[in-house]
Amino acid sequence: MKPIYLDYNATTPVDQKVAEAMLPFLTEHFGNPSSSHILGRTTKKAIENARIQIAEVLHCSAEEILFTSGGSESNNWAIKGVAFANSGKGNHIITSQIEHPAVIEVCHYLESNGFKITYLAVDEFGIINPQSVINAITNQTILISIMHVNNEVGSIQPIREISKIARQNNILMHSDCAQSIGKIPVFVNDLDVDLLSVAGHKLYAPKGIGALYIKSGVKLEKLIHGASQESNYRSGTENILGIVGLGKAFELINGNMKKSTAHLKRLRDRLENRLIEIFPSARINGHKERRLPNTSSICFKGIEANAILEELGDKVAVSAGAACHSHSVKISSVLEAMKVPMEYAMGTIRFSVGRFTKEEDIDKAIIEIKNIILKLSK
């Protein structure tokens, strides 16, 4: 029996329509896009079509989309690329305490190479106050990198306001949008960012493919040297299979956002409302309104998260917000930054619904979770 999958923020299954679009490029269209013959021209055309499909959703030009191996590479390239290309202008970068490791670890690396990083605090809802960005800016600041939404609690950051501050101070703005694309509208002209990271496996495309939006005129240091693929920015023969899949995944987003968001919110609220009704002492992390429609981070007071996961076993697939060991409890950096009390943080479970989640999945999961929490509460 397959587990009820409520961990869509960790990864998504490949949509069947995405798989069907990819199949010809696995079996028939195998040419190198750099080749001038018909096989090469066919795959080259597929790459450019995928760029257009992505650009139509993000509201940018196709030339501003460059393909990567995933969200981590996109974040690495954006941050390191700006840092090394602009080191003559300054060495200061602003980010937050709740970023994904693909941002935090890059910043730690840059700190070991002479850059200075400011890690902004968040409020109890996991949201940054734009005033703290203003306060952190120095005459050496070259980049602000703030995630659009948090992957653990789903809180949505005021990216547009922060971008305005960056613009007023001649600072480049990057946002990791791996978790927001496909769940809420993400338009580069609305967010007003210079760089935006995409991760394919978060939006029903395969793993190992991503993209980086680079606003026209923004210069980055190369991350991969070699031949002249991807506008001479990222060398290496292109991942045609992944690129076609990513393009199709974006095509499926286009025009379906309102319906998709409503579906996600309805199921998430069904789960949340029932669990809070059963367990009034439970607590929901993140902002009530400014939150992803699919994400629910719930704390079960006084219970260890890993004990819940162990009991759930292969019945329900979810993620924990804390790792409990024999003599200590290690809560996530996000919950720590939000100052969630330990008795709640230690029992945090993240539920994230998706495109293929059904009402009966939610109802079955509620029964399993109810029985386990009651058992562990004794």
Query: Would you name the residues annotated as active-site residues?
Result: 324
User: CB count, 10 Å around CB of 25?
Assistant: 20
Beta-sheet strands, E only, within the chain? 4-5, 65-68, 92-96, 116-120, 141-145, 172-176, 195-199, 210-214, 283-285, 295-299, 316-317, 319-320, 322-324, 329-331, 348-352
Report which residue type is found at 360.
Answer: E
CA separation for the pair 109, 218 (Å, rounded): 22
Please enumerate in sequence order all residues whose Cβ is within 8 A of that of 19, keeping only pairs 6 or more positions apart, or say none: 245
Classify strands 92-96 and 116-120 as parallel, antiparallel or unpaired: parallel
Closest alpha carbon to 50 in 21, 19, 93, 77: 21
User: CB count, 10 Å around CB of 374?
Assistant: 11
Whether the Cβ atoms of residue 314 and residue 323 lie closer than 8 Å to each other? no
Classify strands 195-199 and 172-176 as parallel, antiparallel or unpaired: parallel
What is residue 362's three-state secondary structure?
helix
CA separation for the pair 107, 100 (Å, rounded): 11
Q: What pairs with residue 96 in β-bridges?
A: 120
DSSP 153: T
